[in-house]
Chain A
């Protein structure tokens, strides 16, 4: 029931160096080859036991030592060893809503597209209209396959006239890059330079109403000149970074892209500078509850290779009328013409039952299974259970009552307006 990370024992000590030498991306196959070469006595079975027994085998961010120092509770998150919490999800969630929180999101992937043809190529890749972006502007978007399914959701930053920085989900980075390369090889237009620069960047997010005040103490870049969903290349301390006014919490804040090895310097300085204003380190647990209160989608929950952007409320980033053709357009258009049958809605418990991913959703007469919960929790800000449900479209109206099967019992829920959390309520 409760898995505790194994203690690191003698055997792993030597491995620590190997992992360090391999830098950020430990490819398990490479590591296995390495292992077999120098430790031929150890069999595949032992290696596998080892790989699944020791957190040291997970990919590590440059901030792992900091997380350990701060008492972060480390977990395997999509193959990355990251803190799920430090002081507690509730405390961290509240800090972001009322002051500020610091997140290590270095596991996110970064893909750079630059040179002649960059704009047209990116516009062909993603659903949103990149041509409307000014330099230093950012845009939320989706990457689709030919069937209109979502390969990933991402943020596109236009760093220059011909320079685009695509930030994708950690566990999807390799899949995304492979997908982009496939599209690239069959692309007829001018081909820009394409590179997976994930190993070069750490990402630190500072989120919450005190973020600007805190970060401004460490940079000469005038943060009040960076509007929401805009960015600027500038120095934090003396380190070159990209400072973006973006985030995944519903609060004001910044995502800072920094050279991989410089992350600890900036992380430490931010914590020290910000703690008098209430800044605390936050884990993935709070990141999840914060995004959920905003009904922001999370890949693997609301989004998948089989979901169409129109069905999951991403019509607003799907520009079927943009000048450029894009991957998946035909399929998305076909669904639009046919009419979508599914819808993603926010639900609130009318009792105490907490909805969780995978729980079945039934019509109010309990006769028809109409969908499934994609994400759910007890909302730290609102103090009641909330969830996102992927259901038959005919039931989508706000105010509709339905049932969620929580373990063996049916619990009554109601569809409510989202975001669940609005700033005025605080």
Chain B
């Protein structure tokens, strides 16, 4: 499986998808879920929370590991995928489909464009 070219990526292994000029959807990458193993817990922020870039917005836990989730950009949480918190094991199956939050910001597009592209992220994972 490869990393979708329309997504951007963080060094902490989150992916971001641009929904509109002001909204970005966030999840974790194939590499992240594979490193974690079987995911059994997901904690997401409340809608309305203001996040800074790189701020912790939630927690994902596998059987063996606990890992923070980092916001790829600054903005306000306008949606949280609470269905996913009920069945977080889905992240292992389709990590690039299972989004966690939607962040809104006036400059979302500019922030998005500043993140790593798919090729850069693929190389980053290989060398990490």
Contact = CB atoms under 8 A, between A and B. Distances in A.
Interface of A: 1-2, 4, 73, 84-85, 88-90, 285, 288-289, 352-354, 356, 377-378, 380, 385, 407
Contact of B41 (A1, A4, A89, A354): A354
B84 to A, nearest CB: 13
Contacts of A385: 41
B59 interface: yes
B128 A285 contact: no
B32 interface: yes
A61 B93 CA distance: 32
A288 B65 CA distance: 13
Contacts of B50: none
Residue of A2, A88, A288, A289 ringed by the most chain B CB atoms within 10 A: A2
Given A2-B128, A84-B64, A354-B61, A89 B38 contact: yes
A285 B37 contact: yes
Interface string B54-81: 0000010111101110000000000000
B13 interface: yes
Residue of A1, A90, A380, A407 ringed by the most chain B CB atoms within 10 A: A1
Given A88-B38, A288-B64, 10 more contacts: A73-B37, A84-B37, A84-B64, A85-B37, A89-B37, A90-B63, A285-B37, A354-B61, A378-B40, A380-B38
A388 to B, nearest CB: 16
Residue of B38, B62, B68 ringed by the most chain A CB atoms within 10 A: B38
A89 B32 contact: no
Interface string B99-118: 00000000000000000000
B35 A377 contact: no
Q: Is the interface of B mostly helix, strand, loop or mixed?
A: mixed
A372 B16 CA distance: 38
Contacts of B13: 1-2
B90 interface: no
B63 A377 contact: yes
Contacts of A352: 41
Given A4-B128, A88-B37, A89-B37, A380 B32 contact: no
Contacts of B63: 89-90, 285, 289, 377-378, 380
A288 B41 CA distance: 18
A1 B68 contact: yes
Contacts of A407: 59
Contacts of A285: 37, 63-64
A377 B12 CA distance: 23
B35 A2 contact: yes
Nearest to A284: B64
A129 to B, nearest CB: 37
Contacts of A378: 40-41, 61, 63
A380 B40 CA distance: 9
Nearest to A285: B64
A1 B67 contact: yes
Nearest to A2: B35
Given A285-B37, A352-B41, A378-B41, A89 B64 contact: yes
Nearest to B63: A89
Given A4-B128, A407-B59, A356 B66 contact: yes
Contact of A4 (B12, B35, B92): B35
A285 B37 CA distance: 10
A380 B92 CA distance: 15
5 closest pairs, A vs B, by CB? A2-B35, A378-B40, A90-B38, A89-B63, A285-B64
Contacts of B35: 2, 4
A289 B40 CA distance: 13
Given A285-B63, A380-B63, A354 B68 contact: no
Contacts of A4: 35, 125, 128
Contacts of B38: 88-90, 380
A1 B12 contact: yes
Contacts of A73: 37
A237 B63 CA distance: 36
Nearest to B42: A352
B41 to A, nearest CB: 5
Contacts of B125: 4
A1 B63 CA distance: 16
Given A84-B64, A354-B61, A378-B61, A2 B40 contact: no
Contacts of B62: 89
